[in-house]
């Protein structure tokens, strides 16, 4: 095993977790060998006996505490040494997130199960090896317990996720430095060891004998290594006085470190200004858990989890500016360093994190101690309006100010002027009885579901061109017509019809922004007579080069050349919610929920002004000709983002993955995150 | 007194065993980039068994479903197998392999078996809830100085000490 480590070379080791090769045969072999050593020492220590293990709970035999804490201290100090010596970086190791609720309840139940059953999973494996039938029974129970958890997962999920804090270090929680914590932990361990010996001595009236020599050596070694680490961490030569001043020196060194790293930071005020003017190429990434992101995030920030960063940020590597933030600084620093080592020179962290941003930029002027110059006060007001959505009251119109036509989006005035033209065909997508009772004169009723079909086993696929042509022929639509789409309560209905037209090569269409509600609120004429239709014969000449299948998507996943935009709601993207065979998302996909492009007025969605959307997407997509694959679950919501990017904003390489997550999740051989 | 000493000496000195365990954990951090784990292997085994019984149900379940059709292809499954093998090596070397249900002399096989089974169910369940067991959280997580792992460790001892009295009879001699 040591050879394996040294083969990493003189520099930094890249762990298998870092290289993403934990699923390789090499990793399986390494895990097996590490397991052998693990099982060997467990059995050596006497943990192949449930009686010895449970002894700790009856103060009979304190070996559990002695072995466990020696192991923890050895590994903790060893790892700190390796990090200090530059052998490995801490982000090369998988760090479990802290989930307070789940861990507290889990720990309590585990404790009861432990003392009741006499085993824990690892020791039971060693127990079975030494012929303990009760260990085998215990393991069978643990398998049943795991299956039970799976079956009850829906019920337990709120608890499983309660109190999520992301990766948190105990020294940060306690507000002390890592070095100080190591020293305190070592002192606590040594005290505990001697306490255990004392307890056992009283219980068994047995002399400490040989144990003391080893214990004394171990105690001295632990304490001195911990103290030396503090000294080394402070960058000062070790001296006998170091122990006493450890805390002070350590925070001094942290300060120096922070100063030294300042060039990787971006100050909150600077970020606020750059975001406010919607600087193109500025990518703001929120690396907190989804729940916290949903709670509040900086406008247009992408939510990417730490483990997905390397994947998801590839399109932005060394073009534009990437700013990482979390609540505090620990994780963004880790993430930035990790990205830097992978060759990113454009990743920055937000000084003081989101907490600092809120405090420095968004604290109301009335709550600030100092008196601010007018210029600064104005800035803070503008930031608060932008980041907290606190627009001044007079700037809140009931209905978005839609220009006569905003690209392919039109308003009621525009449509009214077109009514008399024989070349205008209006499609009303509302359901019955709304359409029959009142609609725009000569508009045709269309249910978008009638344009979808099951193809190759995947449901809700847009029909092939010939079927669509027959459908539109029946409605009397001709290739020369201007089609105006009027939606009810779903913008994506309109864009799906738009995509159906595009499949036939028909790009002469417009969408009434605000749908039928916009027509009504503009007090335009409605009728209840049904139109007379002369059916046409729409030719099939469509050149559909915008919908792609999973093979194409997989190529992009592998080559990482384009951007995969997952427009489903964030909780589906993260996998915390799922309606499909598997939960999660396509590796490397970026989440931009389609709803973010809308503004809801009286329960009706409107497209946001193209100018505003343009600013947002210029921060997500590097250039107008970048390849972007858009998908959702069934292609419906994705059609909206397709429309926004391709037709409103003029991006040229927009691909639509119709089958979407329904198909991807069902094909078990496809990778997910 | 002398006899007591010899039985005790059969096991390795706990501090040396602890150092051995700690170095194993350190190697795991450096090579795998992840700590030790045991309960994950068991959960994968559970998923595998459930797949055999009810395939579509398991694949569509929220927790096991995400592991796909081959849940056993996971490094911690191999680590669990290794743990068994390592335990076997050590037990054979020390001549400690004896088929038995370990219990107090006055305790019945039935009591001990029932408690081991229920204890196992609780531990299996709790390990999934807390995303790890004594190996993955209490040992590896605390060595990484993670807050959640310390919380978990403290709660294990709280739960254990609070109920130890109820289960003492299985060890009565």
The verdict on a CB contact (< 8 Å) between A78 and B26 is yes
Choose from A24, A34, A179 for mutation: most chain B CBs within 10 A. Answer: A34
Q: In B, which residues are within 8 Å of A130 by CB distance?
A: 87-88, 91, 96-98
The verdict on a CB contact (< 8 Å) between B14 and A171 is no
Q: What is the mean pLDDT of residues B72-98?
A: 95
CA distance B170 to chain A (A): 9
Cα A169 from Cα A328, distance rounded (Å): 12
> Encoding tokens for residue A327?
């609540």
Pick the most confident of A257-271, A358-372, A408-422, A649-663: A649-663
Nearest Cα residue to A519 out of A599, A411, A593: A411
Is residue A496 very low, low, confident or very high in pLDDT (cuts 50, 70, 90)? very high
Q: In A, which residues are within 8 Å of B117 by CB distance?
A: 117, 137-138, 140-141
Any A CB within 8 A of B57 CB = no
DSSP strand pairing (A302-303 vs A265-266): unpaired
Cα B168 from Cα B173, distance rounded (Å): 11
Q: In A, which residues are within 8 Å of B94 by CB distance?
A: 43-44
Q: What one-character DSSP code corresponds to residue B137? A: I
How many CB atoms are located within 10 Å of the residue A508 CB? 14
Q: What is the mean pLDDT of residues B110-126?
A: 96
The verdict on a CB contact (< 8 Å) between B147 and A168 is yes
pLDDT at A626 over 60: yes
Is residue A155 very low, low, confident or very high in pLDDT (cuts 50, 70, 90)? very high
In this prediction, residue A533 carries a pLDDT of: 86
Nearest Cα residue to B11 out of A196, A66, A71: A66
pLDDT in tens, A442-478: 999 999 999 999 988 888 899 998 899 999 999 999 9
The verdict on a CB contact (< 8 Å) between B129 and A102 is yes
Q: Which residue has the tokens 């092939």?
A: A464
pLDDT at B171 over 70: yes
Cα A511 from Cα A497, distance rounded (Å): 10
Is residue A58 very low, low, confident or very high in pLDDT (cuts 50, 70, 90)? very high
In this prediction, residue A109 carries a pLDDT of: 97
The per-residue pLDDT of chain A, averaged, comes to 84
Query: The dihedral of CA B107, B113, B114, B116: what is its sign?
Result: positive
The count of residues in chain B is 173
Nearest Cα residue to A629 out of A523, A557, A533: A557
Out of A16, A52, A147, closest to residue B46 by CB: A147
Is residue B117 very low, low, confident or very high in pLDDT (cuts 50, 70, 90)? very high
Q: What is the mean pLDDT of residues A323-348?
A: 83
Choose from A65, A71, A105 for mutation: most chain B CBs within 10 A. Answer: A71
Helix axes B39-53, B75-93, angle to 10 degrees: 120
Choose from A20, A81, A112, A226 for mutation: most chain B CBs within 10 A. Answer: A112
Is residue A305 very low, low, confident or very high in pLDDT (cuts 50, 70, 90)? confident
Q: In A, which residues are within 8 Å of B18 by CB distance?
A: 45, 66-71, 74
Out of A32, A45, A54, closest to residue B11 by CB: A45
Share of chain A above pLDDT 90, in %: 39
**3-state secondary structure string across A72-93:** HHHHHHHHHHHHHCCCCCHHHC
The verdict on a CB contact (< 8 Å) between A116 and B119 is yes
Any A CB within 8 A of B93 CB = no
In this prediction, residue A11 carries a pLDDT of: 53
The verdict on a CB contact (< 8 Å) between A145 and B171 is no
Q: In B, which residues are within 8 Å of A66 by CB distance?
A: 14-15, 18
Task: List strand residue ranges (DSSP E) for A155-243, in order.
Answer: 164-166
CA distance A302 to chain B (A): 24
Nearest Cα residue to B29 out of B132, B140, B146, B138: B140
pLDDT at A595 over 50: yes
Q: In B, which residues are within 8 Å of A102 by CB distance?
A: 129-131
Q: For chain A, give the longest Cα–Cα distance.
A: 106
Is residue A534 very low, low, confident or very high in pLDDT (cuts 50, 70, 90)? confident
In this prediction, residue A8 carries a pLDDT of: 36
The verdict on a CB contact (< 8 Å) between A142 and B150 is no
Cα distances (Å, whole numbers) of residue B142 to A168, A455, B147: 12, 52, 8
pLDDT at A369 over 60: yes
Choose from A33, A72, A233 for mutation: most chain B CBs within 10 A. Answer: A72
Is residue A1 very low, low, confident or very high in pLDDT (cuts 50, 70, 90)? very low
CA distance A140 to chain B (A): 7
Rounded to 5°, the CA angle A471-A473-A477 comes to 110
Chain B, 16 to 45: residues with Cβ < 8 Å from chain A are 16-36, 38-39, 41-43, 45
Of the given ranges (A22-26, A558-562, A563-567, B44-48), which has the lowest mean pLDDT? A558-562
Of the given ranges (A297-306, A515-524, B148-157), which has the lowest mean pLDDT? A297-306
Q: In B, which residues are within 8 Å of A106 by CB distance?
A: 126-127, 129-131, 152, 155
For residue A357, the Cα-to-chain-centroid distance in whole angstroms is 21
For residue A565, the surrounding DSSP H or E stretch is strand A563-566
In this prediction, residue A237 carries a pLDDT of: 37
Task: Using CA coordinates, name the residue in chain A closest to B67.
Answer: A582
Task: Using CA coordinates, name the residue in chain A closest to B42.
Answer: A143
Q: In A, which residues are within 8 Å of B169 by CB distance?
A: none
The verdict on a CB contact (< 8 Å) between B4 and A43 is no
A vs B, Cβ pairs < 8 A, gives 582
The verdict on a CB contact (< 8 Å) between B155 and A104 is yes
CA distance B137 to chain A (A): 8
Task: Using CA coordinates, name the residue in chain A closest to B99.
Answer: A131
Choose from B87, B112, B163 for mutation: most chain A CBs within 10 A. Answer: B87
3-state secondary structure of A632: coil
Nearest Cα residue to B79 out of B133, B11, B153, B149: B133
Any A CB within 8 A of B139 CB = yes
Nearest Cα residue to A33 out of B8, B40, B81: B81
Cα A24 from Cα A307, distance rounded (Å): 18
pLDDT at A208 over 70: no
CA distance A25 to chain B (A): 9
Of the given ranges (A123-132, A297-306, B152-161), which has the lowest mean pLDDT? A297-306
Nearest Cα residue to B170 out of B122, B105, B121, B120: B105
Q: In A, which residues are within 8 Å of B24 by CB distance?
A: 34, 37-38, 41
Nearest Cα residue to B29 out of A173, A42, A18: A18
pLDDT at A28 over 50: yes
In this prediction, residue A343 carries a pLDDT of: 73
Q: In A, which residues are within 8 Å of B151 by CB distance?
A: 98, 100, 103-104, 107
CA distance B9 to chain A (A): 10
Task: Using CA coordinates, name the residue in chain A closest to B66.
Answer: A582
Look up the ipTM and state it.
0.95
pLDDT at A179 over 70: yes
CA distance A353 to chain B (A): 20
Cα A529 from Cα A441, distance rounded (Å): 8
C-beta of residue A79 within 8 angstroms of C-beta of residue B28 = no
The verdict on a CB contact (< 8 Å) between A146 and B73 is no
The verdict on a CB contact (< 8 Å) between B119 and A119 is yes
In this prediction, residue B61 carries a pLDDT of: 86
The pTM assigned to this predicted structure is 0.54
């Amino acid at each position: 095993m040591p050879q394996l480590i040294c083969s990493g070379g003189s520099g930094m080791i890249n762990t298998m977790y870092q290289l993403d090769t934990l699923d390789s045969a090499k990793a399986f072999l390494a895990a097996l060998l590490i397991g052998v050593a693990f099982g060997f020492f467990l059995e050596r220590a006497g943990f192949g006996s449930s009686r010895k293990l449970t002894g700790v709970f009856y103060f009979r035999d304190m070996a559990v505490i002695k072995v466990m804490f020696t192991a923890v201290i050895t590994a903790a100090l060893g790892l700190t040494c390796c990090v200090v010596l530059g052998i490995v970086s801490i982000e090369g190791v998988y760090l479990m997130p802290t989930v307070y609720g789940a861990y507290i309840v889990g720990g309590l139940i585990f404790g009861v199960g432990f003392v009741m059953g006499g085993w824990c999973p690892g020791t039971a494996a060693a127990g079975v090896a030494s012929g303990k039938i009760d260990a085998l029974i215990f393991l069978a129970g643990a398998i049943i317990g795991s299956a039970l958890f799976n079956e009850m997962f829906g019920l337990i999920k709120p608890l499983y996720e309660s109190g999520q804090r992301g990766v948190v270090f105990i020294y940060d929680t306690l507000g002390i430095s890592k070095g100080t914590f190591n020293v305190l932990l070592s002192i606590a361990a040594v005290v505990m060891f001697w306490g255990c010996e004392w307890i056992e001595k009283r219980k068994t009236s047995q002399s400490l004998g040989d144990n003391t020599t080893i214990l004394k050596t171990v105690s001295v070694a632990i304490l001195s290594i911990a103290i030396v680490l503090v000294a080394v961490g402070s960058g000062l030569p070790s001296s006998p006085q170091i122990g006493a001043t450890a805390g002070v020196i350590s925070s001094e060194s942290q300060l120096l470190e922070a100063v030294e790293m300042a060039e990787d930071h971006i100050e909150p005020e600077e970020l606020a200004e750059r975001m406010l003017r919607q600087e193109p190429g500025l990518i703001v990434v929120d690396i907190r858990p989804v729940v916290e992101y949903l709670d509040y995030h900086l406008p247009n920030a992408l939510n990417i989890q730490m483990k997905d960063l390397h994947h998801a940020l590839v399109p932005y590597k060394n073009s534009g500016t990437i700013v990482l933030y979390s609540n505090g600084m620990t994780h963004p620093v880790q993430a930035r360093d990790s990205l830097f080592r992978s060759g990113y020179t454009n990743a920055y962290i937000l000084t003081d994190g989101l907490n600092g941003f809120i405090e420095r930029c968004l604290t109301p002027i009335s709550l600030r101690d100092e008196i601010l110059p007018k210029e600064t006060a104005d800035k803070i007001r503008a930031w608060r309006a932008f980041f907290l959505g606190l627009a001044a009251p007079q700037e809140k119109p009931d209905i978005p100010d839609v220009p006569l036509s905003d690209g392919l989006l039109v308003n009621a005035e525009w449509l009214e002027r077109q009514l008399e033209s024989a070349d205008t065909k209006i499609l009303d997508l509302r359901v019955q009885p709304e359409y029959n009772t009142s609609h725009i004169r000569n508009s045709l009723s269309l249910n978008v579901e009638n344009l979808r079909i099951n193809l190759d086993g995947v449901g809700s696929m847009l029909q092939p061109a010939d079927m669509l042509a027959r459908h539109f022929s029946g409605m009397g639509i001709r290739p020369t017509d201007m089609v105006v789409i009027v939606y009810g309560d779903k913008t994506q209905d309109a864009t799906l019809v738009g995509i159906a037209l595009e499949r036939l090569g028909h790009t002469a269409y417009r969408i009434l922004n605000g749908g039928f509600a916009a027509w009504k609120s503009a007090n335009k004429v409605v009728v209840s007579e049904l139109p007379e239709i002369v059916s046409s014969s729409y030719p099939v000449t469509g050149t559909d080069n915008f919908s792609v299948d999973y093979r194409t998507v997989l190529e992009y996943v592998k080559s990482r050349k384009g951007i995969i935009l997952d427009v489903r709601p964030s909780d589906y993207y993260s996998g915390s919610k799922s309606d499909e065979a598997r939960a999660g998302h396509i590796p490397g996909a970026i989440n931009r929920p389609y709803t973010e492009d809308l503004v809801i007025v009286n329960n009706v969605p409107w497209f946001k002004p193209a100018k505003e959307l343009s600013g947002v997407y210029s921060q997500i997509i590097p250039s107008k000709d970048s390849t972007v694959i858009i998908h959702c679950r069934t292609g419906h919501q994705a059609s909206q983002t397709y429309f926004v990017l391709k037709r409103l904003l003029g991006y040229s390489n927009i691909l639509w993955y119709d089958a979407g997550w329904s198909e991807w999740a069902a094909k078990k051989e496809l990778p997910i995150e | 007194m002398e006899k007591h000493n010899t039985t005790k000496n059969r096991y390795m000195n706990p501090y040396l065993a602890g150092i051995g365990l700690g170095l194993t954990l350190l190697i795991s951090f450096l090579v795998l980039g992840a700590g030790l784990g045991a309960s994950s292997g068991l959960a994968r085994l559970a998923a595998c068994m459930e797949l055999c019984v009810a395939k579509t149900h398991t694949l569509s379940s929220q927790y096991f479903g995400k592991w796909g059709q081959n849940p056993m292809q996971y490094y911690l499954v191999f680590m669990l197998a290794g743990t068994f093998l390592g335990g076997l090596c050590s037990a054979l070397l020390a001549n400690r392999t004896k088929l038995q249900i370990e219990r107090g002399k006055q305790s019945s096989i039935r009591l001990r078996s029932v408690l081991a089974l229920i204890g196992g169910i609780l531990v299996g369940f709790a390990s999934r809830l807390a995303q790890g067991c004594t190996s993955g959280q209490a040992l590896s997580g605390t060595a990484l100085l993670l807050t959640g792992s310390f919380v978990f460790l403290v709660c294990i001892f709280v739960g254990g000490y609070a109920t130890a009295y109820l289960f003492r009879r299985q060890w009565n001699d």
